[in-house]
Structure formats: C-alpha cells, structure tokens
Amino acid sequence: MMNPYLQVAIGGAIGSVARLGLYRAMPAGGFPLATFAVNVGGSLVMGLLAALLAGRGAAWAPLLLTGILGGFTTFSAFSLDTLTLWERGQGVLAAIYVGGSVLLSLAAVFAGMTIGRGIFA
C-alpha cells in the first residue's frame, strides 16, 4: 500500500483541482453557491465513504477522506467529526464543537483580515 502521506498529497491535489473546477463551472452571484455545493456535496460523499470504509478498506482512507475530500472541502471532515461526537452520545461536546468552530473561525478570519489590512494596506 502507498505511503499515507503520499496518498494525502495526491488526494489533496485531486480534491483541490475538483473544487476549482466546480467553482469555475458554477455561476458567481450574490450567494456563494459553489462553496455551498462543495460543503454539502463533500459532506454527503464523506458520509458515504466513511460508511463504506468502516471496518474494511481503511488503507484507502488517507487518499479518499483526508486527501481528496480534505482538498475538496474541510467542511466534510468537520461534519463527520460532529456526527461522530453525536453518535457517541456526546451531544453537548458536539454543540460546543460546532458553535466554537463557527464562532472562533469567524473571529479568526476577522482578526486576520484586520491585521492583514493593517500590515499590507
């Protein structure tokens, strides 16, 4: 089997190119439809592949899950992590993960933009 780091590198390239292709194929408008489609579609495929690979075929997980889907959308990993917490009966932790991820990511991108504009403007 191929080295998992090489699998992730190859898969990441495939997923990133697929995302760019989708962004170019979808019309730009007031609503970020391409990003929405990537996040929802990637999450659907992540669920399908996680179910398929569970207990079998785990050697392909780095290529398919972390690589291709990670390059396509990290939202799919976020969704799977949240569902895993929920299914383990850790609903409060899942809610903290969702709320914290969204709020802190928004705060971080705001901070980065503010700092970047101060430095590079």
CB environment 60-97: b (16+ within 10 A), e (fewer)? bbbbbbbbbbbbbbebbbbbbebeebeeeeeeeebeeb
Give pLDDT, residue 29. Answer: 82
Closest CA to 90 of 81, 79, 102, 103: 81
| Residue 26 DSSP symbol | S
The answer to the question of residue 47 being in a domain is yes
The answer to the question of residue 114 being in a domain is no
Give pLDDT, residue 32. Answer: 86
Mean pLDDT, the chain, integer: 91
The answer to the question of residue 104 being in a domain is no
Residue whose entry in the numeric block shows the structure tokens 């503010």: 114
Which tens digits make up the pLDDT trace of 25-70? 998 788 888 989 999 999 999 999 988 888 787 899 999 999 999 9
Q: What pTM was estimated for this model as a whole? A: 0.79
Sign of the four-CA dihedral 55, 56, 61, 64: negative
CA dist., res. 63 & res. 58, Å (int): 10
Domain interval for residue 60: 4-73
The answer to the question of residue 78 being in a domain is no
Domain count, the chain: 1
The answer to the question of residue 86 being in a domain is no
